[in-house]
Chain A
């Protein structure tokens, strides 16, 4: 048996050695191709890190031994050697020699290297050895970077191998963290990172550049990862029909594993696991709960509706937030649930009926025209239509479809809707603006527009959930109260990406009304006026002719 074992181990050793050699050769070839392409840049590298160069040269020498055909490069290598010698003179000779000796082994295993070092120099340089190890690690990283920096070669690899893309993404991020950019500039690395993130996560370039301007590289990857992972299913208990304890008990009896969402809500339950379809239990059908993402609770909690108030939900379908408002008001007062789309109206209607909401009026106006229908609401909730960049985990098609153009389009609509919502509200009333998007254009920019055009101020939401809103983004700067708005990120809060802000209306009417009228009205009038003027001119001309004819006749 022992013989067999020995044979077996010998065999494995041989295999391992072969494999190691292959690996070596591969590395060598890759490095070599480096040199083929970046002959000029080697000088730069030399300036950056001497050790790196030495390493490469050594490898080149190996190559020359192995590949005698490559005669052209020998000249270069000779040059490099000279440079090296110059550099070596500057440093401690021993260090460099050790490095050079060890370099070949490093690529396979550090352990071996340590052993070798220990044997060769047991006494003298323990401190130096540590330094060497650090240097070696750095060198390895730099090596990897030098791999990364050959774009053409690696791109061919990457298109077929997602793992390789991921490795490279991680390396670039580390490099960016340590501010160790190698021979490339930060921007170039960032561009490359974006490109690879696009291929790995399947986003279009537009969205990725937008996200990368919002997040730091490491956070960006966390965000993208979170977008690929499903969010936990959450339900909201309908207190019009039941209580959370009762519902939890009955659901547990049905084989549902659940827990409360958090301390900030008394009506939320997280579903971890369920034997029955959670959207078709008798309790669901009786309207005891509603499937709703936890982040959708927040704007309603911020709105804080009171009994007997008149409330407008400007974009209500499919009614998750509307039913929550009714529940908080205990079916008193009046809720106007408006939605532009007639297709979504049915879902809204059935949800309202199922949840036993009786104080609701469902209307089908364009939200922008609602101020003409009715004004002076106590509170207005605007959960604006958006690109849904916060709910990519629910709808992955957003990744490929939505572009900057869509974001700006929505942003424009949202501005109009928010102004309209503010106009609907009474003086001193509350407006809550929310979107399920994380983009700045659909949130802070819209709020800033409202601040510029209406007498409103942003007030505290009264909730602790969420990161503060941004005060500046790219070239834009926002009002100092913008940090009272809240942002929910999937990778931070494990909820759908969300934004909500609470506004208080101070006074009626737009700001700078007179100036706007001066600008707008003449533009509108000129078209009509032109026609009238033309008609008038014609008439005048006709009269003039008649008069002249009459005069001629008289004469």
Chain B
């Protein structure tokens, strides 16, 4: 486990900034309970400093996970966010989209969001901006990319895709299935 180097930090924060913007500051600068990002192999985790210190006692090969998993660096040095960080993304989200109850199921099965399932969305979302999806009870469901801006969405027909699915909570089940299939 180690801290992220400059290059990694830059790539990671750029990606994260697309979802939560300047709120990244709030993640790092918390004086009462300082939190840090740490790299384990090529995976990025977010944890309180206290826990990070405890984790240093564990051997390199034996340490598997600490705190909240954010995502991993690909071999081409890009960063890919994982659904596990959804709670934090949702807390600081820049752009939000709410789904109708009828559309939740379809989205959680890994489908894109169509206009008919859209309940509401925050104002001024530009085209291809990263958004966080919520149910109407304010439960975060996943994140994705808006295919149109807020204004353009009004004139779309009901079956058109509004948000491309990047990750949704259904992945918890699907990834476990993948694991079983690998066996």
Contacts and interface: CB of A to CB of B under 8 A. Distances in A.
A361 B55 contact: yes
A285 B108 contact: yes
A350 B179 CA distance: 12
Contacts of B61: 364
Interface stretch (B4-12, B65-73, B113-121, B153-161): B65-73
B170 A349 contact: no
Given A282-B104, A286-B140, A360 B67 contact: yes
Interface string A77-97: 000000000000000000000
Contacts of B176: 346-347, 350
A282 B141 contact: yes
Interface residues of B, number: 35
Interface stretch (A100-108, A113-121, A351-359): A351-359
Contacts of A346: 175-176, 179
- Chain B interface secondary structure, helix, strand, loop or mixed? mixed
Contact of B169 (A286, A334, A359): A286
A362 interface: yes
A360 B84 CA distance: 14
Nearest to A369: B62
Given A282-B135, A282-B139, A373-B58, A362 B66 contact: yes
Contact of B50 (A280, A334, A373): A334
Given A346-B179, A363-B58, A373-B57, A285 B170 contact: yes
A368 B139 CA distance: 41
A363 B84 contact: no
Contacts of A374: 57-58
A352 B172 CA distance: 11
Contact of A334 (B54, B68, B141): B54
A321 B63 CA distance: 20
B48 A361 contact: no
Interface in B157-179: 169-170, 172-173, 175-176, 179
B47 A358 contact: yes
B28 interface: no
A51 interface: no
A349 B140 contact: no
Interface string A321-360: 0000000000000101000000001110110111010111
15 contacts: A282-B139, A283-B139, A285-B169, A286-B141, A286-B169, A334-B50, A336-B54, A353-B69, A358-B47, A358-B48, A361-B58, A361-B65, A361-B66, A362-B64, A364-B64
Contacts of A334: 50-51, 54
Interface in B122-136: 135
Given A346-B179, A350-B175, A373-B58, A361 B87 contact: no
A200 interface: no
Nearest to B107: A282
B66 to A, nearest CB: 5
Interface string A306-334: 00001000000000000000000000001
Given A282-B141, A286-B139, A363-B58, A352 B169 contact: no
Interface residues of A, number: 29
B63 to A, nearest CB: 6
A356 B141 CA distance: 14
Interface string A264-301: 00000000000000011011011000000000000000
A263 B172 CA distance: 32
Contacts of B65: 349, 352, 360-362
Given A285-B108, A374-B57, A356 B87 contact: yes
A365 interface: yes
A349 B66 CA distance: 9
B173 A361 contact: no
Nearest to B53: A334
A356 B140 CA distance: 13
A285 B57 CA distance: 33
Contacts of A352: 65
B155 to A, nearest CB: 30
A353 B169 contact: no
A358 B52 CA distance: 11
A282 B63 CA distance: 31
Nearest to B1: A361
Among B59, B105, B139, B170, max chain A CB count under 10 A is at: B139
A361 B57 CA distance: 11
Nearest to B142: A285
A361 B108 CA distance: 29
Given A346-B179, A361-B54, A354 B172 contact: yes
B86 to A, nearest CB: 9
A285 B63 CA distance: 26
Contacts of A347: 176
B62 A363 contact: yes
Contacts of A353: 68-69, 84, 172
